[in-house]
Structure 1
Amino acid sequence: MSEPTTNQRQPAIPGLEVEATAVVGIGLGLTGLALGLRPRLAPVALALTALTAALFRNPRRVPPDEPRTIFAVADGQVQGVREVYEHRFVHSDCLRLTTVVGPLDVPICRAPTAGRVVYLEQLMGDHRPLRDPHAPERNQRLYIGLETAWGPILLAIIASPLGRWLRCETTQGATLNAGARIASIRFGGQVDLYIQRDVLDPLVAPGARTLAGRSRLGAVVA
């Protein structure tokens, strides 16, 4: 099974974003120059190059062929699974699965299941710490509503104080496969997945680590 396709250019360096190619090339060049002129500075240049590569990772992800599985949207750590009422798109009692994305986690967000984008909204906002209870409704954030075979799903991607590069990478009306790239958020953030309460049997607990497009968050029971 091949990785879900996007209309993005293929990176020149496998496993890295296109934007990282020039920076990594310059960094390696400066490292070589430092080795010849100032050897003590070479480790610094190499460390900065490695950090850039880490921040722009784009690993290949192919979800298993499991149409009734909800996969992780982002790399990170599950913070909680709570029952809430979602008023923006689902308009129903929901399970909210929250994943915290660390500053060095892979910044790419992926579709948790196959569906069509029917709601899309990006809002600017504050730069509050994610532990602030008002951060999910006040920080810069992106909402993506998916229509699926068994009901609506809302994704809320919330920037952290450092994660101010929040980019939407899908469009209204787009039809997505599970694992398709939908957004990127660098330097950390939070992803909330809302799904109708009676639809999902959760398979994760707080503290679990996730990989976008690979880790199973739950099984559809509707």
Structure 2
Amino acid sequence: MEAHTPEPSPPQTPAKERSSRIPGFDPEATPLLGIGLGLTGLTLGLRPRFAPLPLALTALAAALYRDPERVTPPDPQAIYAPADGSLLLIDEIYEHRYLHTDCVRMAIAVSPLDVPICRSPAAGTVRYMEHVAGQYGPVSDIAAGDQNERVYMGIETAWGPIMVVQIAGPLGRRIVPQVAVGDALSAGARLGTVRFGSRTDLYLQRDVARLLVESGQHVVAGLSRIGDLVGV
């Protein structure tokens, strides 16, 4: 299938080079944390009793802009979680955009305080990307996967295609992809960011893997092993 790369809308443009960053945080956090710490120091000198306010806001910004370095185990038989959060559901559905087959869909709800970085579940090459405009309803609504603002990322692996979908929520309306069609990825590589709450859906061909998780379980992107390949 020929890769389809539509014209990106401004909010969905690929992220800039990951430089000038504080270790463990997104580059966008650098000016925010700098301003917050500066205001805290200034307030300590002028009105010490008000210093906890800018300090608390700085701590909140730090929590929302976390981007820790993670080392995903190099196991070619493993499939890893694509996002931090709780599994909303695991079901079967026909996927018509990239895989064109019956699939297992795993929907992960990412809370505002979860790390907002989506990661590749396995090594492969990005073959398909599409941004679809939509609503900003609650991600707990299963219909959000078809109605909300979202970005589809199809990845060709050594054992078959998979698809990861980042879905915006009521607050997290800005999806920032960090990959493009043709990019080669290792397992655990960063795919994109949606802050302040979102959802990530993973589509696997049915019967390609033995699942190791169940609905309601909390998973960690690039570290939680959610499945093992079958017959590969």
Secondary structure of the 1:23 match is: helix
The within-5 A match list for 1:68-107 is 68-107=77-116
For the structure 1 residues 143 and 26, does the alpha-carbon distance in structure 2 shift closer, same or farther, using more than 3 Å as the test? same
Determine if contact 1:79/1:100 at 8 Å carries over to the other structure.
Answer: yes
RMSD: 1.5
Residue 29 in 1 paired to residue 56 in 2? no
State the Cα distance separating 1:118 from its structure 2 match.
Answer: 0.9
User: 196-205 or 79-88: which moved more?
Assistant: 79-88
**After TM superposition, where is structure 1 displaced by more than 4 Å over at least 4 residues in a row?**
none
Secondary structure of the 1:112 match is: coil
User: 11-20 or 69-78: which moved more?
Assistant: 11-20
State the Cα distance separating 1:221 from its structure 2 match.
Answer: 0.5
Residue 110 in 1 paired to residue 119 in 2? yes
- List gaps (5 residues or longer) in structure 2: 1-14
The one-letter code matched in structure 2 to 1:146 is: I
Secondary structure of the 2:32 match is: helix
Provide the identity percentage. Answer: 53
**1:93-122 deviations in whole A, cap 9, x for unaligned?**
111111110011111111100111111001
Aligned to 2:184: 175
In the alignment, the residues of structure 1 paired with residue 143 and residue 89 of structure 2 have an alpha-carbon distance, to the nearest angstrom, of 16
TM-score by length of 1: 0.93
Determine if contact 1:11/1:17 at 8 Å carries over to the other structure.
Answer: no
State the Cα distance separating 1:190 from its structure 2 match.
Answer: 0.8
In the alignment, the residues of structure 1 paired with residue 203 and residue 172 of structure 2 have an alpha-carbon distance, to the nearest angstrom, of 22
In the alignment, the residues of structure 1 paired with residue 137 and residue 147 of structure 2 have an alpha-carbon distance, to the nearest angstrom, of 8
The one-letter code matched in structure 1 to 2:106 is: L
TM-score by length of 2: 0.89
For the structure 1 residues 117 and 63, does the alpha-carbon distance in structure 2 shift closer, same or farther, using more than 3 Å as the test? same
Aligned to 1:3: none
In the alignment, the residues of structure 1 paired with residue 18 and residue 160 of structure 2 have an alpha-carbon distance, to the nearest angstrom, of 32
The one-letter code matched in structure 1 to 2:55 is: L
Determine if contact 2:88/2:140 at 8 Å carries over to the other structure.
Answer: no
The one-letter code matched in structure 2 to 1:128 is: G
Count of matched residue positions in the alignment of Structure 1 and Structure 2: 217
In the alignment, the residues of structure 2 paired with residue 214 and residue 178 of structure 1 have an alpha-carbon distance, to the nearest angstrom, of 10
